[in-house]
Amino acid sequence: MNALPNLSATMPQPAGLGAQYTQVRQRTAALCEPLSPEDTVVQSMPDASPAKWHLAHTTWFFEQFILSRREGFKPFRPRWDFLFNSYYQSVGPMHARPQRGLLSRPSLREVMAYRAHVDAAMAEALAGEVSPEVAFLVTLGLNHEQQHQELLLTDIKHLLSINPLQPAYRDDLAQRRATASPLSFVDGHAGVIEAGHAGVGFAYDNEGPRHPSLLHPHQIAQRPVTNAEYRQFIDEGGYRTPTLWMAEGWDVVQRQDWAHPLYWSDDLQSEFTLGGRRDIDPHAPVCHVSYFEADAFARWAGARLPREDEWEHLASAQAAISGNFQDDDLLQPMPADEPSEGVSQLFGDVWEWTSSPYVSYPGFKPLEGALGEYNGKFMCGQWVLRGGSCATPVSHIRATYRNFFYPADRWQFMGIRLGRDVS
Amino acid sequence: MNALPNLSATMPQPAGLGAQYTQVRQRTAALCEPLSPEDTVVQSMPDASPAKWHLAHTTWFFEQFILSRREGFKPFRPRWDFLFNSYYQSVGPMHARPQRGLLSRPSLREVMAYRAHVDAAMAEALAGEVSPEVAFLVTLGLNHEQQHQELLLTDIKHLLSINPLQPAYRDDLAQRRATASPLSFVDGHAGVIEAGHAGVGFAYDNEGPRHPSLLHPHQIAQRPVTNAEYRQFIDEGGYRTPTLWMAEGWDVVQRQDWAHPLYWSDDLQSEFTLGGRRDIDPHAPVCHVSYFEADAFARWAGARLPREDEWEHLASAQAAISGNFQDDDLLQPMPADEPSEGVSQLFGDVWEWTSSPYVSYPGFKPLEGALGEYNGKFMCGQWVLRGGSCATPVSHIRATYRNFFYPADRWQFMGIRLGRDVS
Amino acid sequence: MNALPNLSATMPQPAGLGAQYTQVRQRTAALCEPLSPEDTVVQSMPDASPAKWHLAHTTWFFEQFILSRREGFKPFRPRWDFLFNSYYQSVGPMHARPQRGLLSRPSLREVMAYRAHVDAAMAEALAGEVSPEVAFLVTLGLNHEQQHQELLLTDIKHLLSINPLQPAYRDDLAQRRATASPLSFVDGHAGVIEAGHAGVGFAYDNEGPRHPSLLHPHQIAQRPVTNAEYRQFIDEGGYRTPTLWMAEGWDVVQRQDWAHPLYWSDDLQSEFTLGGRRDIDPHAPVCHVSYFEADAFARWAGARLPREDEWEHLASAQAAISGNFQDDDLLQPMPADEPSEGVSQLFGDVWEWTSSPYVSYPGFKPLEGALGEYNGKFMCGQWVLRGGSCATPVSHIRATYRNFFYPADRWQFMGIRLGRDVS
Amino acid sequence: MNALPNLSATMPQPAGLGAQYTQVRQRTAALCEPLSPEDTVVQSMPDASPAKWHLAHTTWFFEQFILSRREGFKPFRPRWDFLFNSYYQSVGPMHARPQRGLLSRPSLREVMAYRAHVDAAMAEALAGEVSPEVAFLVTLGLNHEQQHQELLLTDIKHLLSINPLQPAYRDDLAQRRATASPLSFVDGHAGVIEAGHAGVGFAYDNEGPRHPSLLHPHQIAQRPVTNAEYRQFIDEGGYRTPTLWMAEGWDVVQRQDWAHPLYWSDDLQSEFTLGGRRDIDPHAPVCHVSYFEADAFARWAGARLPREDEWEHLASAQAAISGNFQDDDLLQPMPADEPSEGVSQLFGDVWEWTSSPYVSYPGFKPLEGALGEYNGKFMCGQWVLRGGSCATPVSHIRATYRNFFYPADRWQFMGIRLGRDVS
């Protein structure tokens, strides 16, 4: 498999891969523990998937891309391929995405047996010597599973939110109080920089190749927009002023009667969280806003969203990746711990919408074979978000990491950081 | 509650009501035993409801219409009203029907606790002296629950049928073999008859009042149309001949690519049943056909469908109500036991489409209050079916019983009996 | 052509057929005179057709069913068949109905040339001896064209009504003032009567055969419901009370925000008419209401709609067919000329919704061949209306005439006459 | 009006403005001459507008943005504002775009009277001294009208194409034959360049500001992709190979059964043109392909689409803007006149899809006021096309001109030029 030479060369030694595998896989199962079997079946909207599907699909990924290449391989169940392939056309036909919620069978119990079966086979595969290709594929599979951990949380949040009983995912989630610092801006670098992944350690294909990029004079806000600031936008008629919006965004606002972020109550006092309904914290970063809302807010504020290379250059200079992540077990954006002089909350809390459409970097080559479908074919109509969220595992994020969603999507933990031109 | 005097006067003595209550309620739970919790959540199409919803809604019916009128009543859970009201606008707002499958909570376990709670309260209510009104309402509730037993089976069948794994509801269902007798017709009565329910024993409001009706000279087939006969219709181009169809039916055939009954395989060899996929039995009554298909078949056969009063007059003359019912535990239409000289299979096996639109009888008065919404408001756009099916409890059916569905509906156990004019 | 023996035997002598032909055809053209070429192209909704299409389709009917059977026939334009066939599947494929408004070509001028061409050929065909079959077909074609005259007017009314400029079809339409008599009821006949067309003179196949029918004791209102009465229904919350409505009707009310008859202004003061926007006349019959609205109004009024055989029996006893018809050139329902002791306005002004679903009479046989598609295949999901309207030519109507529309249709001149049971 | 100082400073002297006005306005009317009144009413799809609407809207633009600011102004018709405003929310509410085809009134004649009225008032306005602001606005209005000239042609082409009669827009259009040169690539410049409009002469706001841009090493094809080359893509399964496509594009291919460019016959032999149906010329540039098809073709060819700054840098170096434009009166892409050594057909023939999403340039400022809605609010979800087409007036195009459409749009004259990375 000569598709990945440059990447596999840079992978960490296989030592520790088995432990990583175990840790990530157990984490996924742990995230499902608060769920009833019934919770794991339902698909609340076409964009979301049932938890049971996430559990099975991430398992299928290892079976398909690693185990099926081993001698003597037999699939756990012959027809599950069709059910748990997400979108890899090269691998074969697949069950239609909007119908994932119609599969009451296999049951959660059977899916957990599938996980155990594949985990046992993977343990065997990782016990002996592991080739660089396999090491890469396992690492890719674990990153893939971490992505689905985040989706699992956002999909469950959506499902519970539309239930009139408004049940909490968990009753034991802590909260953190702090006061947001006043909004200020820091100067960004101007001129030609190097952007994209440098090739050391794991990265997705869409993060490379490393390439020169030209930054124009600009500034970036030192922290994300807060709920209080967003509330002011609402109070001053933001959702009723068409000239603040992209034409397509204004259509969505009209058609779906948007008047506040997803999960906010109509009286703008409370919001639905994974810990149940809570009062809105004015100091916390605003969350669950679409690109359209982020862009309209920025226009209202006399600013714009940062470009992804502006964001990346600033983030690359941070001493460490720290912030409110899935590992912190808060599962909701929180105010920054203490007023910060420098830039805060670039990582964690909320994915930050950028003004960059999701397209390929100069010289981009997708992975060869079916895995080339992982990222490249979505480079149309979506926008880049950066920095990870309170639902992202900290080990999953990088300064070069490119997330992407459609401009009307709101169910991820998405927020806003402002940028502006300097002339 | 003076809405029901004429009906309650004819009700059987309350003695035995408690036993009936227990029997019907336990039967519903027994029907759900082969299901996993996951099976009980999913709504496979807007017409169908999740099993969990059926279990809760039938319970709500007793809570709402009997228990809530008792002193000291407190609802089991305050907001479940909203979730489990089906369509009684008089009672309050309700959760939208097509979203019943989005409710992962309450869980199946909680719903079963709800059933136990209401059953205990009902046992108390039925222990002492029971007024005629309450006796009527309990009987209505039990008939209501029997209807939902049938829907539960047809909805589960649909859910499992769309699963690519094609799982069976039960693996232990028996089958019966027999040879269909040649098709022949019996003479129907012509002239003014009395139709509708005579007021002895329970009946729905839509079965009355008893009224004179004029029958024109006609004949009715002595048995339902078989799979073999329907197969001939297909082979001779029935689904490709627009002049055989109602205009609206032809639209559906085109739009949905109908080429055979629901649940038949495209090669016309097998069909999906509650016992899994089986070879089609040429001698069994054809099933899961819409009104459009029944009407087109009849036109192709140079016949027509019986009118509902023609059917009822014939059925009223039968010595007993016997046939293949839910109680027989076959859950699939079967060939008649032995070639019959007279009319066979009027009751059981398949609901028989009539050529009668579902409208009110002369002098019809719906029940007063919310229960008046039970039947009357659906008297538009639907067609009457008669006789019950293999999924109907035998104690539920009568010669005067009027079932009704939209002309494109196919997921009930619906079949065809021919009639024809005599000139 | 032996399909029509019983009908053709009863046809009037061909003498005068040519004159009738000329009169009807010229009338159609005259109805289009107030229209610009632009007005004749647009299809304002799938139910409506462009005037240009009506002009061409009625012409195609004569070409297809009469001229094409004559020796040496050549079609005016080879591919127009496809464009102007409405729904005769037996004749060949056809242009999709909802796309009739996309045909800018042929132009109105070309269509008028088509009419002239066919009229000349028809003049030739009618000049010599005319066989009974041809006489029947010509009469059918003229009745067909009269139906399209009415549709032409209702379709134009709809088109102009949705234009923000609210242009009038004609500025010179007269109005008539009168005071509606107080609402009272007359006794209907009870017992077995003969209904349906007796076979003398032209009638559509769906009006026969003549057959016995059983009338139950009932009364019928002596005049249609007025705007003032309907206004009271609105004022007392008719459109906000779900228990007054069929379930399907209530869905439509909700989904389409119905709060008054079609063409009424939201302030309930004015209505759009073919003469432009006018004040609502409280004494005139309410018009442009659906079956759902008629049925809800009747329920609110403690009454019901008449059955079609009740209506027909009453209408058959009228001395003459008189009323406000297309020939009166008012083109809007008007109050009855003078307070009437007997039954008034059975004919003309508004089509009256009945409580009868549109199904076949006992022993019904559609015409043979393609013309069998004229009526029979629509006997599903529609309701019968009786009596003709202010847009119907008086020569077109009979006591046995059955019109039919879907229960949500409102754009025809449809109104309400009440009936009620007598017990 | 201080919104436009920098732009108006660079405008040509008002001398000649009146003549330009007359020329452009007359050209629009001339384009409509081959149309019947009926042709000018119909809207064949939501993306297209009726010719009558184009004629009125372009006139409204002058009335709204120039005449209404003059003393003593009275609108031609008070309510036409509402009808002929396209999307300027700042100016007031507007008629819904998909309903433009429902307006039979005002008639074409009335619209032409509107044009005459506004032209007379504009002649007066341009007779005396013209301020720089007015000069700018007139120039903007004329460029706006030229855009609508192109849309008028593409919208008419679509309308006639869906007519089963396949009528030609004009019968007198010439064709040109030539042989396409073999495909080769030229080297593009790499490094930081200046891109965007330099501020001399008219340009839209979205073409500026001029800004540095970084070009990566690349090549660009010397001519557009031909029909013969595209035919090979089809023959080799291009439309059946999901891995060649963006995920969203593949969905469209499946859902709409795309198997060739818009207007090609299913046998791949002929195409619909403004001159009627013609044989496909293998040497002509392929046309009426979407971004999805252009992108899939490029991937199949081992290439990519050029970035918009790569394209612009190459085009800026051309000695003159020459090519097959609206002025050539061919109205269909043609093979290049003679085999060219250098780059050919950058301008004219077909708009060339680039791989650049349509977003703002660094430092972009939309025009102030309502005209700021002209371009900026569409910077989401669309892709840039460059170079103009056979339906573009030559005086309308520039090297910096940015056209933009949605990736599934095909009804404009859109084609493909390849680019590729150099490593």
Separation in Å, CA A363 to CA A197, A206, D310: 13, 11, 14
For domain A14-161, give the CATH number: 1.20.120
Average pLDDT, 10 consecutive residues per value, chain A (423 residues): 37 74 98 98 96 98 96 93 89 86 96 98 93 95 98 98 97 95 96 95 96 98 98 98 96 97 98 98 98 98 98 95 97 85 92 98 92 90 98 98 98 98 89
Q: pLDDT class for C5, splitting at 50, 70, 90?
A: very low
**CATH 3.90.1580.10 assigned to B185-421:** yes
pLDDT of residue B77: 95
- Whether the CB-CB separation of A155 and A49 falls below 8 Å is answered with yes
- Is residue C87 less than 8 Å (CB to CB) from chain B? yes
The DSSP letter of residue C420 is E
Element (H, E) at B213: strand B211-215
Region label for B257, one of left (φ > 0), alpha (ψ between -120 and 50) or beta (otherwise): left
B191 strand-pairing partners: B215
- Whether the CB-CB separation of A121 and A59 falls below 8 Å is answered with no
pLDDT in tens, D337-346: 766 668 999 9
| Number of Cα atoms under 13 Å in the Cβ half of residue A36 | 21
- Residue D385: partners with Cβ closer than 8 Å, 6 or more residues away: D351, D352, D353, D354, D403, D404, D405, D412, D414
Distance CA C162, CA C157 (A): 9
The most confident of B11-15, D77-81, D139-143, D363-367, by mean pLDDT: D139-143
Nearest Cβ partner for C216 among B211, B249, B372: B211
Phi, psi angle pair for B262, to nearest 5°? -55, 140
Which ipTM did the prediction report? 0.94
- Is residue D170 less than 8 Å (CB to CB) from chain C? no
Torsion, Cα A150 A151 A157 A161, to 10 degrees, reads 160
pLDDT of residue C3: 34
A and C in touch (3+ CB pairs within 8 angstroms)? no
- Whether the CB-CB separation of A143 and A204 falls below 8 Å is answered with yes
Distance CA D65, CA D79 (A): 16
- Whether the CB-CB separation of B344 and B314 falls below 8 Å is answered with no
- Is residue D137 less than 8 Å (CB to CB) from chain C? no
Q: Strand pairing of D414-415 and D419-421?
A: unpaired
Cβ <8 Å between A105 and B160: yes
* Residue owning tokens 């990566």: D216
Nearest Cβ partner for A159 among B44, B104, B160: B104
- Is residue B131 less than 8 Å (CB to CB) from chain C? no
pLDDT of residue A2: 29
Question: Which residues in chain A are closer than 8 Å to D356, comparing Cβ atoms?
Answer: 359
- Least CA distance to B93: which residue of chain C? C242
Cβ <8 Å between D216 and A423: no
Q: Using alpha carbons, select from A401, A411, A403, A407 the residue that is nearest to residue A381.
A: A407
Distance CA B284, CA B227 (A): 6
Q: pLDDT class for C339, splitting at 50, 70, 90?
A: low
Cβ <8 Å between C363 and B250: no
Minimum mean pLDDT range among A212-216, B13-17, D46-50, D171-175: B13-17
pLDDT in tens, D176-196: 999 999 999 999 999 999 999
* Chain D touching partners, 3 or more CB pairs below 8 A: A, C
pLDDT of residue B9: 41
pLDDT in tens, A142-166: 999 999 999 999 999 999 999 999 9
Region label for C377, one of left (φ > 0), alpha (ψ between -120 and 50) or beta (otherwise): alpha
Q: Strand pairing of D211-215 and D218-221?
A: unpaired
Which residues of B226-340 form beta strands (DSSP E)? Answer: 270-273, 276-279
pLDDT of residue D97: 87
Distance CA A91, CA A93 (A): 7
pLDDT of residue D2: 29
Cβ <8 Å between B247 and C211: no
Which residues of D12-96 form beta strands (DSSP E)? Answer: none
pLDDT of residue C373: 87
Q: pLDDT class for B368, splitting at 50, 70, 90?
A: confident
Rounded to two decimals, what is the model's pTM?
Answer: 0.95
pLDDT of residue D383: 98
Q: Quick one: average pLDDT of D126-142?
A: 94
Distance CA A113, CA A119 (A): 10
pLDDT of residue B14: 56
pLDDT in tens, B278-335: 999 999 999 999 999 999 999 999 999 999 999 999 999 998 999 999 999 999 999 9
DSSP B27-41: HHHHHHTT--TGGGT
Percent helix, strand, coil in chain A (nearest 5)?
40, 10, 50
Residues shown for chain C: 423
pLDDT of residue D340: 64
- Number of CB pairs, chain A paired with chain D, less than 8 A apart: 82
Q: How many angstroms away from the CA of D83 is the closest CA of chain C?
A: 8
Q: pLDDT class for C340, splitting at 50, 70, 90?
A: low
pLDDT in tens, A266-288: 999 999 999 999 999 999 999 99
- Is residue B175 less than 8 Å (CB to CB) from chain C? no
Distance CA A184, CA C162 (A): 53
Torsion D388-D389-D391-D394 (CA) sign: positive
Cβ <8 Å between A38 and B105: yes
- Number of CB pairs, chain C paired with chain D, less than 8 A apart: 87
Residues shown for chain A: 423
Average pLDDT in chain D? 94
Residue B87: is its pLDDT beyond 90? no
* Chain B touching partners, 3 or more CB pairs below 8 A: A, C
Question: Which residues in chain A are closer than 8 Å to D377, comparing Cβ atoms?
Answer: 243, 245-247, 250
Nearest Cβ partner for B36 among A95, A99, A107: A107
Nearest Cβ partner for A79 among B40, B106, B165: B165
pLDDT in tens, B170-194: 999 999 999 999 999 999 999 999 9
pLDDT of residue B339: 62
DSSP B337-395: SS--SS---SSSSSEEEEEEE--PPTT--PPSGGGGGTTGGG-SS-EEEES--TTS-GG
Nearest Cβ partner for C104 among D42, D82, D105: D42
Interface test with C, best of D32, D35, D36, D38 (most C CBs within 10 A): D38
Cβ <8 Å between C42 and D40: no
pLDDT in tens, B116-154: 999 999 999 999 889 999 999 999 999 999 999 999 999
Minimum mean pLDDT range among A180-184, A358-362, B1-5, D230-234: B1-5
For chain D, give me the number of helices (H) and strands (E)? 10, 11
Sequence ranges of chain C with CATH classification 1.20.120:
14-161
- Whether the CB-CB separation of A346 and A323 falls below 8 Å is answered with yes
pLDDT of residue D19: 96
Give the number of other CB atoms < 10 A from CB of residue D19.
10
CA angle B118, B121, B124 (to 5 degrees): 150
Sequence ranges of chain D with CATH classification 3.90.1580.10:
185-421
Q: Strand pairing of D191-195 and C383-386?
A: unpaired
Minimum mean pLDDT range among B1-5, B358-362, C245-249, D37-41: B1-5
Distance CA A55, CA A152 (A): 9
pLDDT of residue C343: 94
Q: How many angstroms away from the CA of D41 is the closest CA of chain C?
A: 6
B and C in touch (3+ CB pairs within 8 angstroms)? yes
